[in-house]
Amino acid sequence: MQEFEMKRTVKQISKRVAAGVVVVAVLLVLLLLNPFVKIDAGERGVVLNFGAVQDEVLGEGLHLRIPIMQKIMKMDVKIQKSETRAEAASKDLQDIKSVIALNYHIIPEKANWVYQNIGVAFKERVIDPTVQEAVKAVTARYTAVQLIGDRENVSTAIKDALSQKLADYHLSVDGFSVIDFSFSKKFTDAIEAKQEAEQFALKAARDLDRIKIEAEQKITQAKAEAESLRLQKGQITTEMIELRKIEAMREAIAKWNGTVPNVLLSGGGATPLISLDGLMKK
């Protein structure tokens, strides 16, 4: 009886060990085969069945894949930034150099198409050539002077052209800006000389206007003074002259200090012209 119980116990232990081994083996296989895949925020998963791109695109979260058969390629669908140097010519054949900054992202539901047709090298394969093409196409419609004076409309036209062309590759434009927009040194010097000439001409015109105004003010002032003299001359009469004489005598008397002027005699002495004592005695 005891022997039977021992055999039974051994069998149970063997079964448990076997089950544990199976579980461990399954876990090891799962770890090695890795049937789970996690898609992080801002990413999409492209499903490959033995290397063939499938129509299904995996969203964010945890997903189950078929080991060996399926492989999941992660694609970044967040906004990305690219800077491209572009060279072009204006309508009047002026050389133009620019630096274009572009913000873009992969259209999430088209991540499988982008992976299949472009891969992950978007900048070299699509962005740079498309920027070059758009800049050349737009700047060729404007003269160099128009490109300077109408820069906002030029930027809008380039952005619209880029948006249209990149949409064919399922890439969406989020932002666009022209960081640098420069011309040849010869043209730049000519523009600066023209601006200086315009400023000089404007200053000369202002000076001429100021001189004209000052001259007109002087003429007006002279006319006013002449008119005043004419009016004063017309008002002078004999009575007014006599009145002015009397007023002058009164002012002289008011200023007199009481001293009678003396006359120098030939003998060296001096005698007053008028003797107040004599007048008072009389």
Query: Would you state the pLDDT for residue 71?
Result: 93
Query: Would you state the pLDDT for residue 281?
Result: 45
Query: Would you state the pLDDT for residue 282?
Result: 45
Closest CA relative to residue 127, chosen from 100, 109, 152, 157? 100
Q: Which of 57, 76, 95 is the endpoint of a domain?
A: 76
Provide the domain count of the chain: 2
User: What is the distance between the alpha carbons of residues 139 and 154, in angstroms, rounded to a whole number?
Assistant: 7
In a domain? residue 243: no
- The CATH number of the domain holding residue 136 is 3.30.479.30
pLDDT, tens digit, 9 for 90 and up, residues 194-248: 766 667 777 777 877 888 888 788 888 877 777 776 666 666 666 666 767 777 7
The end-to-end CA distance of the chain, in Å, is 192
In a domain? residue 194: no
Closest CA relative to residue 75, chosen from 205, 171, 154? 171
pTM for the model stands at 0.58
User: What is the distance between the alpha carbons of residues 92 and 57, in angstroms, rounded to a whole number?
Assistant: 49
Q: Which domain holds residue 18?
A: 2-76
User: What is the distance between the alpha carbons of residues 220 and 178, in angstroms, rounded to a whole number?
Assistant: 57
Query: Would you state the pLDDT for residue 5?
Result: 62
Q: How far is CA 242 from CA 45, 237, 239, 245, 251, in A?
A: 119, 9, 5, 5, 14
* Residues with pLDDT less than 50, the chain: 273-282
